[in-house]
Amino acid sequence: MLKFRKAIVLTFLIFIVAHFFAASPATATDSRKPEIFVQTGHTRNIKSFALSPDGRYLITAGEDNTLKLLDITLRKEIRTTLVDSTVNTVAFSPDGRYVVTGDRNRNIFVRDFRTWNVIKKMRAPEGGGPLTKVLFLPDGKHILTSEFGHFLHCWDIRQGKLKWQLKVQRAGDTAMNYDAHISLSGDGKIVAVGSKYEQAHRKPVSYIDLYAVGTRQRIADFPEIPGYEIRDIAFSPDDRYLIATTTFQDNTQRIADKTFVFDVQERKMVKEYATGSLSAAFSPDGKSFAVAGFGDVSILNADNFSILKRFNRYPPVIFLPDSRRVIMSNVDHGLELYDIDTGRITNLLPSRVPQFGLKMASFDEDNREIVGFGFRGFFRWNMKSAARSTVIVPDAEGRPVSFAAVSDDIRYGIGLGIDSDNRYILQLADLNAKKIVTVLRAPEKYSIGVVKFSPDNKYLVTGSYDGEIGAFDLGNYSFRKFSGKHGVQKKFSLPTVRALAFSPNGKDLFSASDEGIIKWDIPSGRLLQRFSTAHDVNILDVSPDGRELLSNGGYGDYPGYLWELKSDLAKGLFFKEGGLLTAGTLSVDGKLAVSGNSDGIIKIWDIATGKEIFTLRGHSGRISSVRFSKDGGKIISSSSDSTIRLWNVATGKEIAQFISFDDGEWIAITPEGYYNASANGDRYLNVRAGNNVYGIENYREAFFRPDLVKIALAGGSLKDFRKLAEIKQPPRVSIVQTAATSANEEFRLTLKLEEQGGGIGDLRLFLNGSAVLLDSARSLKVVQKDGSGASYRSYTLKLSPGSNSIRAVAFNADNSMQSNEAVHQVQARFAAIRKPTLHALVIGIQEFRNPKLQLKYAVADANLFATTLRSGASGLFEQVKITLLTSRETTSRDSLINTLQGYQTLNPDDLFILYIASHGTVDEGEYFLITSNVGALSTQRLKSDALSQVQLKELVANIPSTKKLIVIDTCNAGQLGQAMQVALLTRGMSEDTAMKVLSRAVGSTILSASTSVQEALEGYQGHGLFTWALVQGLQGKADKGKTGYIRTTDLAAYVEHEVPDLAEKIFKRAQFPTVSISGQGFPLGKVR
């Protein structure tokens, strides 16, 4: 950074310019520190799009008061920014360095795109209204803005000052309470202004006028458009045409939409369409244009004005630089990409992927489970397994459930909705039985705003928007209203009941509204006492001894109160903070309170002193609930940001966050970045490093560690493990100088690798979903480098006939993180000359150097599998080549490495099956296959003598078959003895985790017998239980669809279902196999 030298004026000026046009080194470094966030999508209508000049980034502005930055090539959200006022318009500078937004409150913000910092803030002068459009002039230093009220402004964004103002008006115009919309000509010298006008004794009309930007003089006008209000206008790239989307309104109700096309040179209308109302855009090549209204998007040919495509989508619309793809939104506020050439629509950003707007979260009595509720139903998180299960999804007779409550013992839940007769209904769910017990209907004209279970679950109390209290008797489901209510309806407000709380004995109820707090007698429904408050109350909780009542005081700096119930006096003041308090509760011992506000901030308070102890930061949205665990050691919080977070009360630190997604996927992750997830749950969590964005799955091989998540949830420390934030970025990889077609089986491709600070580790190539080449960092050699420092590496692959999809990923130097993938499509124009061959390597190891490791059934299992496979596969393939290895000599580590390397000449369409029956273990986070030469089981000896996961991954990934199946029948505890169990079962991740990581890494389906802490049961029909079930499936039982063939996916489903049932039935013990499906599914054999 330049240093200020007061004697040199020139240096000072350079410093000022540099400060505006570039971020400081410190800022740039901080902005690249990895941050984990959820990809949520918008929750309300999208108002505006802006595309970066290179077409890589898209900024969207929504009515949910958020700005979102997306990487279009990766189809990932990079960041979400909450704003104070809805942004109506957004624009990139011509050089892509700046982003400017204009909002409803007439504010203009200039952001540095690289750092995302606001560097200038301006505000349009009084007299106008919400900003409607912001456009950069070609110099990138000035912008034009239009707004409600026909004002046009020019701003200097370097100085943050208004340069000039123009009031667009025609002679005789009177009322001008309409939006103005603008578009710039290609050279930026002419601005078109369109708006609606009113003149005396005439109906409203819309005009489009042309102004010279330099002189601000009106130079041309177009024919009027009677009755219609202009909502957007756009010049064609060659300035030949101008299109205007309009809405015809009658008593503020839209009843018709039209798009008008004007010839700019001749100043006349040349075409009109009954489509489009809110958004218009030309393609960069000028050959097409798009117009959009609600539920109506049209793509049109600009040469003959014919409609190419019309469909039910939503504004805004924008073309990518290739002019062949259009971005638009859908009814759920997600983003879609339409390809004009193929007619294909693909998702660019899904809408509301997480369980949006979590309403609450709570602990069970033993702190073993967390129950949460979002718009998609109730779900449980198991604190021991760090896994989630959906319990039940209430549905208000086909309408969304908008609110919920859970009983204190989390046995029952309530989903609140409105039926077809507009009556409030409450679905009572038994969360243990996972079913709806009954549906309760509120009386007519009784609107429910809040519900609460009594401590003994005898009553369900409701508070209405009219200030009334009622209760359902959960014994007979009868309903009664209490005698009395909260105030009366005022002109502009209702005495809405906002909070309910029970005394510990369940006999007294407290309710709060804008009118104060009331104490009620539950059995009689009688009003007992009123507490006067100066402000709105929406938080209530009673102390464990029933002597004190906690409440808040409303907005801003209004405090929280601790009421002494006997004296009716507020004895304590705290919660003194900005923002709206939205949640609060007392600890079990009554010594602490926790509050949450609308800014996502949580605070822990000392009740005795009223002082703040900790501020908990992490949530990015309104806090909807906070709750202490029964032992007082943890706090659970839920938020509109769709996450549940667990906090340590003693330290104020986050323990973990839990996220549920609409499609049933889920993820639990610690602040260090270690996570557990459902099969595809990690695909929805992103990591931002500057403006680079990665999926959390890019870190999977190092950070998918359910075992560490369990340790964290149990109170253990992860301080000795590396953090995700410390991981350096992998190189950027792209496929270059590579053909799109091939007449030959052998195909050459070149990778370009651009360093990003983390070095270069392993490279992997996938063909049609399966790994076919792994080039490890040990052997990586750079072919060439260019002037920018990028390196290149070329490889030769074998293709399959027809369409081939090649994916390439590169790892950082320590292989802890992979790059975003590069994808290349190749059409192979040669025909298959033979059927594929099935290759199988079947290994059974039961004799080891260490006699304590001896197994009884491994060889018999291997023989049975080989025989069954050969029988089913015969006649289906060109050849069936099965290699069976069972002796000590052929099953040593070195022997197996040599044998597996011999499969590196297979063809892509050949099948490869690897079956291993032996011991397996995990040590220091790495899986090891115990080979026959293994004696000692220390970490050092395992690394030197056994076959590691890294080696197995490299060997399998370099087998060029695109159809692979790996079966690992590992036996642990039963034959090992106490010493072996201690040595093998206490050193890190489970085998289940290791197998899932391996499956994703090599793009192959893996079936594995058991986990490290679970005995692989033996001794059934002279074989291991897992292999016996596997063989039964191969012999035909897995063919549930009666197709006559056994596919890998069929076999996986059969084994996953059958093994647990057999284990429980025969051995009265649980055994759950690991099934991880990746790559292609394919047939293994016929049913004989």
Beta bridge partners of 374: 377
The two structure tokens encoding residue 280: 């218009």
The better pLDDT of the pair 816, 622 is held by 816
pLDDT tens string 167-186: 887 655 555 556 789 999 99
168-319: which CATH number, 2.40.160.20, 1.10.3720.10, 3.40.50.10490, 2.130.10.10?
2.130.10.10
Q: What tokens appear for 807 in the block?
A: 């994916």
Q: 592 pLDDT exceeds 90?
A: yes
Element (H, E) at 208: strand 205-212
Pairwise CA distance, residues 363 & 36, whole Å: 25
pLDDT band at 156 (very low <50, low <70, confident <90, very high): very high
The angle, 0 to 180 degrees and rounded to 10, between the axes of the packed helices 1048-1062 and 1025-1032 is 130
pLDDT at site 621: 80
Q: Measured between alpha carbons, how far apart are the two ends of the chain, in Å? A: 76
Residue 400 dihedral angles phi and psi, to the nearest 5°: -60, 145
Taking only the tens place, the pLDDT of each residue in 428-469 is 988 888 888 898 998 988 888 899 999 999 999 999 988 899
Q: Over the chain, what is the mean pLDDT?
A: 84
Task: Count CA atoms closer than 13 A to 476's CA, side-chain side.
Answer: 3
Residue 11 pLDDT > 60: no
Please report, rounded to a whole number, the percentage of residues in the chain having pLDDT higher than 70. 85
- The answer on pLDDT for 562 being more than 90 is no
CB neighbour class for 287 (10 Å; exposed up to 12, middle 13-18, buried from 19):
middle
CATH architecture of 732-828: Sandwich (2.60)
Which residue spans of the chain are classified as CATH 2.130.10.10?
168-319
Q: Give rounded-to-5 percent helix, strand, coil for the chain.
A: 15, 45, 40
Q: Which of 165-169, 479-483, 669-673 has the lowest mean pLDDT?
A: 165-169
Residues paired with residue 807 on neighbouring β-strands, in sequence order: 766, 823
939 contacts 921 by C-beta, under 8 angstroms? no
Q: Quick one: CA torsion of 300, 301, 304, 308, rounded to 10 degrees? A: -60
pLDDT at residue 875 in the model: 86
Those residues whose C-beta lies under 8 Å from the C-beta of residue 543, and which sit 6 or more positions away, are 549, 550, 586, 590
Residue ranges, comma separated, of all CATH 2.60.40.10 domains in the chain are 732-828
Among 133-147, 230-244, 388-402, 857-871, which is the least confidently predicted range?
388-402
- At residue 14 the predicted structure's pLDDT band, cuts being 50, 70 and 90, is very low
Fold of 838-1086: Rossmann fold (3.40.50)
- Does the pLDDT value for residue 190 go beyond 60? yes
> Residue 983: which pLDDT band, with cuts at 50, 70 and 90?
very low
Query: 71 with 78: CB under 8 angstroms?
Result: yes
Q: Could you read off the pLDDT of 287-335 as tens digits, one per residue?
A: 999 999 989 999 999 999 999 999 899 999 999 999 999 999 998 888 9
Structure tokens at 197: 């006008």
**What mean pLDDT is predicted for residues 888-896?**
96
pLDDT tens digits, 484-493: 777 654 444 5
> Could you tell me whether strands 675-677 and 666-669 are parallel, antiparallel, or unpaired per DSSP bridges?
antiparallel
Distances from the Cα of 516 to the Cα of 345, 463, 508, 555, angstroms: 54, 14, 17, 15
pTM: 0.80
CATH 3.40.50.1460 in the chain is located at: 838-1086
Taking residues 114-142, what's their average pLDDT?
93
Q: What is the pLDDT of residue 1013?
A: 38
Burial 857-884 (b: 16+ CB within 10 A, else e): bbbbbbbbbbebbbebbeebbeebebeb
**130: preceding bond cis by omega (within 30 degrees):** no
pLDDT for residue 1010 is more than 70: no
What percent of the chain shows pLDDT beyond 90? Answer: 48
Return the minimum-mean-pLDDT range out of 594-608, 612-626, 1065-1079: 1065-1079
Half-sphere exposure of 1008 (CA within 13 A, CB side): 31
Flag whether pLDDT at 67 surpasses 90.
yes
Q: Which stretch of DSSP H or E encloses residue 995?
A: helix 991-1002
Residue type, 418: I
Q: Would the pLDDT of 149 be above 80? A: no
Residue 25 has pLDDT above 60, yes or no: no
SS3 call for 142: strand
Among 101-105, 382-386, 648-652, the minimum mean pLDDT is found in 382-386
Gap between the Cα atoms of 469 and 483, Å rounded: 8
Q: Let me know: does 993 contact 707? Beta carbons within 8 Å.
A: yes
pLDDT of residue 22 exceeding 60, the answer is: no
> CB burial class (10 A; 0-12, 13-18, 19+) of residue 394?
buried
